[in-house]
Amino acid sequence: MPDVSILYVQLYGETIGTLTHVGGDRTIFAFSDSYIESNDRPTLSLSFKDEFGGLITDLPATQRRVAPFFANLLPEGTLRDYLAERAGVHVEREFFLLWVLGRDLPGALTIVPADGEAWPPEADSAPAKTVKRDRENALRFSLAGVQLKFSAVKNSGKNGGLVVPAQGVGGEWIVKLPSTRFEGVPENEYAMMSLARAVGIDVPEIQLLDVDSINGLPDGIGVLKGQAFAIKRFDRTADGPVHIEDFAQVFGVYPEDKYKKATLRRLAHVLGIESGSDSVAEFIRRVVFSVLIGNADMHLKNWSLIYPDRRTPLLAPAYDLVSTIPYLEDYSFALKFARTKRFDGFTREELSYLADKAGLPVRPALAVAQETVERFLTQWGGEKRHLPLPGPAVEAIDTHLARLPIVRTGF
């Protein structure tokens, strides 16, 4: 039984470091000398950047789990339980989950075993005869998150559907299946994302399609009917992958703390320093939009940075915009704005305070916010009966809007 297992961490196809699993179920991440010494190295994460802009290389080992940056590449919750069982890996042994799922991660990152396809025997926790088949199947659900989703490619046939690649690699779309807990989530997300685009928010190509039109769904997910939501992957282009990271990775926060460890003020501060005015304006649009639709789930993992030039972060296109108030009576944002989390506490004064403490010019922030409110109310008033939302959801949003000071008095 080997004492040491190594995974290569590759960015844009080049090995930039290693994850090493050693005795005592510890994992160590180390950058390669060539990456450290490069003058034009691509950015892996702002979390590895010190206060002077240099690369942090003195990285502690982790016990059982991997470091937060890598942990956030993996699925969460029930989806992780499902994949770990299929792969024959204990749910907390993240090094070996990365071994299985590392070929189709978010961004331009891949993680591959240093010694090819060999599988260390100490990793197995399921019968050997089923593990190989199920491990290959597990890769088809390799994207981070909670909801059952997978990479897919466009079907070249006449039905215009999507196909799950046989090996789970190379998909240009993410498909989210219907929720077994809440009705109409794909329709809700499609409606909110369509509305966001109309308001001026950067939204990728999206599609609402019948589950029956998706080919290649893996076994073991049960019988699902209705609509699925599909979104074009903004980290995949004709020129190759583009690197991204979410703000849980930026702040070095484990996924289970995605609601706890930061405020929107801190996100705005990072964007103001690292990304510039366009990303800040887009950030404010999304905050205001999420307050207006009653989206209580904009946690750290629902905000991402993208690196179009491989080095400089910009706010990535929007995703996971859903109105949660038709399902849950939660009138608080996922993260604190600056001093409060309540939707009705997001006022001119709160946004002004947030911008000031984040080091942003206040007047432009208020102007973007006011424009977003006006555009939203115009679009919502004209389109709400034409969006794929059931009547009760429309009524829930209308009731919510009536409570908001930003609707009554603006910014």
Per-residue pLDDT of 339-362, as tens digits, reads 999 999 999 999 999 999 999 999
Which backbone phi and psi does 52 adopt, to 5 degrees?
A: -100, 5
Domain spans of the chain, in order of start: 5-115, 149-237, 240-408
Q: What is the per-residue pLDDT for 128? A: 41
pLDDT category, 145, cuts 50, 70, 90? Answer: very low
Residue 274 has pLDDT above 60, yes or no: yes
Tokens of 329: 């009576």
- Average pLDDT for residues 306-312, to the nearest whole number? 97
pLDDT category, 1, cuts 50, 70, 90? Answer: very low
Q: Rounding to the nearest 10 degrees, give the CA dihedral for residues 46, 47, 50, 51.
A: 70
Strand partners, 29: 19
Per-residue pLDDT of 252-273, as tens digits, reads 999 999 998 899 999 999 999 9
With residues binned 3-state (H G I as helix, E B as strand, rest as coil), the percentages for the chain, rounded to 5, are 40, 20, 45
Q: What is the per-residue pLDDT for 89? A: 78
pLDDT category, 291, cuts 50, 70, 90? Answer: very high
Q: What percent of the chain has pLDDT over 90?
A: 65
Number of neighbouring beta carbons within 10 Å of residue 74:
24
- Prediction pTM value: 0.90
The burial class, CB within 10 Å (0-12 / 13-18 / 19+), for 388 is: middle
CATH architecture of 240-408: Orthogonal Bundle (1.10)
Question: For residues 186 and 212, is the Cβ–Cβ distance under 8 A?
Answer: no
Residues labelled as active-site residues:
297
Question: For residues 187 and 227, is the Cβ–Cβ distance under 8 A?
Answer: yes
- Average pLDDT for residues 192-219, to the nearest whole number? 88
pLDDT category, 157, cuts 50, 70, 90? Answer: low
pLDDT category, 135, cuts 50, 70, 90? Answer: very low
Q: What is the per-residue pLDDT for 261? A: 84
Residue 137 has pLDDT above 60, yes or no: no
